[in-house]
Amino acid sequence: MKISEIINELELLAPQAYAEGFDNTGLLVGDANAEVSGILVTLDTLETIVDEAIASDCNLIVSFHPIIFSGLKKITGKNYVERVVLKAIKNDIAIYAIHTALDNSFNGVNAGICDRLQLSNRKILIPQKGTIKKLITYVPTEEATALKQALFNVGAGSIGNYDNCSFSTNGTGTYKGNENSNPVVGAKHEFIAADETQISVTFPKHLESIIIKTLHEAHSYEEVAYEVLTLENTNQHIGMGMIGALKNPMEEADFLNYLKKQMNVAVVRHSSLRNKTIKKVAVLGGSGSFAIAAAKGAGADVFITADLKYHDFYTAESEILLADIGHYESEQFTKELLHTFLSKKISNFAPALSRGKVVLSKINTNPISYF
């Protein structure tokens, strides 16, 4: 199995098209055409992690955080980032980072936290905009059903719990081919008015190339008339943070104890207790101060995140309980999530590459210690 095939699988879990603009995801180091000897899954890529990959005969590191974030102008080993990259290249080890592509996935980092807290009725806290597109095309009426089916087969027309969604209207299409044309109906220089069906379907933006390719393959015309639009609608399945409900509402102190136990943390930094029952819980793994307003707006009783600053706690304004469980702690189960996903995929698609070849890193990469 090649690295590119593993990347294709990771793209199914968390398409890079949904990573944040500031991020640096994807294959950061290495050759996508190389054969995979084994995969090491980690939260961060440090020198000790590259050593662990070497020791466990893994030539692909799948990391949550990207080791190269803001660009490299020199690779001389002067800082830890350069040393990691140097060591990886010298040892022919590739590094893939998934980061905010997985943060924004419905089955990603925050779903992992919701699982630990057993939250039901989950929704994305800040749904992404500009990720739903619409295709409008025009096809001879007798071809309309087959074309719609071809588009559905590659993922167009899915809305929430429904698929095969489309809208069609019948009308008259006109055209006249020039000297170099080769029309399927009529002849060059002939004005044609034909019975055509206008089809519209929506699709998620990461499928655009396969959908346009399928459109051209399934359509009989030499020139296919179509329009692709980006919709303003928010995507309820892609975005930052998640909100869900506890099965049994809890008093704040009980909830904080539950949170510590379920997320395996020793300390929770939190804003003033409000003496309110906790039912709705918003979560955002990693640095989440930007989502405090969204958590309040969604009616969350508590917002669990990390990297909150002194003044951020004031913004709770007695409207919400803010709970900072630590950056590493909030994302610590992400490597298990990736490990489980890759193990299943590898055993399905490449039984020759045994389950044992997806290795969960044993190293705690948290740079923060508590005394």
- Where do contacts with Zn ion occur on this chain (CB under 5 A)? 286
Name the residue nearer to Zn ion (CB basis): 139 or 323: 323
Query: Please, what is the minimum distance in Å from the beta carbon of residue 149 to Zn ion?
Result: 42
CB of 97 to Zn ion, least distance (A): 11
Nearest to Zn ion of 15, 286 (CB atom): 286
What are the residues whose beta carbons fall under 8 Å from the beta carbon of 199, sequence distance 6 or more? 135, 136, 137, 138, 139, 144, 147, 148, 151, 166, 167, 168
CA R_g for the chain: 25
Q: Which is nearer to Zn ion, 43 or 215 (CB)?
A: 43
8 Å CB contact between 60 and 38: yes
Residues 6+ apart with CB under 8 A from 302: 252, 255, 278, 280, 281, 282, 320, 321, 322, 323
Tell the smallest beta-carbon distance from residue 85 to Zn ion (Å).
19
Q: Residue 286 carries which side chain, given as an amino acid letter?
A: G
For 245, the token pair is 């409900």
| Exposed e or buried b per residue across 69-97, where buried means at least 16 C-beta atoms within 10 angstroms of its C-beta | eeeeeeeeeeeebbbbbbbbeeeebbbbb
* Cα gap 144→164, rounded to integer Å: 13
Query: For 302-333, where are the alpha helices, taking DSSP H only?
Result: 310-314, 327-331
CB of 339 to Zn ion, least distance (A): 17
Closest distance of CB 10 from Zn ion, Å: 17
Nearer to Zn ion, 100 or 197 (CB): 100
Give the shortest CB-288-to-Zn ion separation in angstroms.
Answer: 10
Nearest residue (CB) to Zn ion, 10 versus 245: 10
Nearer to Zn ion, 100 or 202 (CB): 100
Residue 244 or residue 286: which is nearer to Zn ion going by CB? 286
Q: What's the CA angle centered on 278, arms 277 and 281, to 5 degrees?
A: 160
Please tell me whether residue 192 adopts helix, strand or coil conformation.
strand
d(CA 191, CA 68): 58
Shortest approach of Zn ion to residue 322 CB, angstroms?
A: 18
Eight-state DSSP code of residue 5? H
* Nearest CB to Zn ion, comparing residues 3 and 308: 308
CA distances from 72 to 28, 76, 80, 365 (A): 11, 10, 12, 22
| Distance between CA atoms of residues 190 and 193, nearest Å | 10
User: Least distance in Å: CB of 58 to Zn ion?
Assistant: 22
How far is it, in rounded angstroms, from Cα 369 to Cα 354? 36
Neighbours of 314 (CB within 10 A): 11
Q: Which residue is nearest to Zn ion (CB)?
A: 286
Closer residue to Zn ion (CB): 239 or 286: 286
CB of 100 to Zn ion, least distance (A): 9
**Least Å distance between CB 121 and Zn ion?**
26
Closest CA to 235 of 1, 78, 9, 17: 17
Q: What is the DSSP letter of 224?
A: -
Of 108 and 286, CB closest to Zn ion: 286
Q: How far is CA 172 from the centre of its chain?
A: 41
